[in-house]
């Protein structure tokens, strides 16, 4: 199985989402010896934000694009190729102001491409990531679970579900580690432990799928 692993936190070695995503990759390695990993660090290699030229180029029909437009789209084309070449996608990120970090949004804006990751046809749009396993691993400072005063403020889960749903992602997994900052140490430890247990369960499921696909 070929995994594309994307980290978005800018906090380097102090990042909880990076620690947890690294642990998940180790869990997968233990279970799937043939695992290969394509790693992308959005803090080291931040994708460009959408420019006016990019917005014009993506909506210009392919055959009408100028050489400049084609050159401008090449990083986006290359990122789409990377994503499409993977069998599984691990996206790890902190929650920022109830949604995704801007680096991850810029990444999403780079890979949602007509004619590449979604195809428009007479019956609507066909997303091209329908075969991918996807895990969104999010870390949150507060606790947004049911019953919490912050429960209704989660704009991250729907943004990821719909953004990636449009390019074909079905039934993604979510592991949300919370509360990791605005809470007592024991609550933070419990939030991490819950997330680690959920990650082990996802790793078990993915490994079982790989075994049954190989059988």
Ligand X SMILES: Cc1cc2nc3c(=O)[nH]c(=O)nc-3n(C[C@H](O)[C@H](O)[C@H](O)COP(=O)(O)O)c2cc1C
Q: Which residues are at the interface with ligand X (CB under 6 A)?
A: 9, 11, 15-18, 94-98, 139-142, 180-181
Measured from the CB atom, the residue of 33 and 149 that comes closer to ligand X is: 149
Task: Determine the distance from the C-alpha atom of residue 40 to the mean position of all C-alpha atoms in its chain, rounded to a whole number.
Answer: 11
Shortest Cβ 181–ligand X spacing (Å): 4
Q: Are 15 and 9 within 8 A, CB to CB?
A: yes
Shortest Cβ 137–ligand X spacing (Å): 9
Q: How far is CA 190 from CA 139, 194, 206, in A?
A: 13, 6, 24
**Cβ-based neighbour number of residue 83 at 10 Å:** 22
Shortest Cβ 92–ligand X spacing (Å): 7
Euclidean distance between CA atoms 125 and 137, whole angstroms: 27
Shortest Cβ 24–ligand X spacing (Å): 13
Measured from the CB atom, the residue of 109 and 154 that comes closer to ligand X is: 154
Cis status of the peptide bond prior to 197, with omega within 30 of 0: no
Backbone angles phi, psi at 19, to 5 degrees: -60, -45
Measured from the CB atom, the residue of 7 and 109 that comes closer to ligand X is: 7
Rg, C-alpha atoms of the chain: 18
Measured from the CB atom, the residue of 126 and 193 that comes closer to ligand X is: 193
Beta bridge partners of 91: 6, 136
Shortest Cβ 182–ligand X spacing (Å): 7
Measured from the CB atom, the residue of 96 and 166 that comes closer to ligand X is: 96
């Amino acid at each position: 199985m070929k995994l594309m692993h994307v980290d978005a936190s800018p906090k380097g070695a102090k990042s909880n989402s990076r620690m947890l995503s690294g642990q998940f990759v180790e869990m997968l390695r233990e279970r799937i010896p043939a695992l290969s990993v394509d790693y992308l660090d959005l803090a080291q290699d931040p994708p460009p934000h959408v420019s006016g030229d990019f917005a014009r180029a993506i909506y210009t029909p392919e055959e009408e694009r100028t050489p400049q437009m084609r050159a401008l789209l090449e990083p986006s084309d290359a990122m789409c190729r990377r994503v499409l070449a993977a069998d599984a996608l691990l996206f790890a990120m902190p929650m920022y102001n109830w949604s995704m970090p801007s680096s991850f949004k810029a990444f999403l804006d780079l890979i949602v491409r007509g004619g590449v990751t979604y195809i428009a046809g007479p019956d609507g749009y066909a997303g091209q990531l329908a075969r991918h396993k996807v895990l969104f691993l999010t870390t949150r400072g507060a606790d947004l679970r049911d019953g919490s005063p912050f429960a209704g403020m989660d704009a991250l889960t729907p943004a990821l579900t719909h953004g990636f749903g449009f390019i074909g992602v079905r039934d993604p997994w979510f592991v949300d580690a919370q509360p990791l900052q605005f809470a007592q140490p024991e609550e933070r430890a419990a939030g991490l432990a819950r997330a680690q247990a959920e990650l082990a369960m996802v790793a078990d499921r993915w490994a079982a799928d790989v075994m049954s696909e190989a059988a």
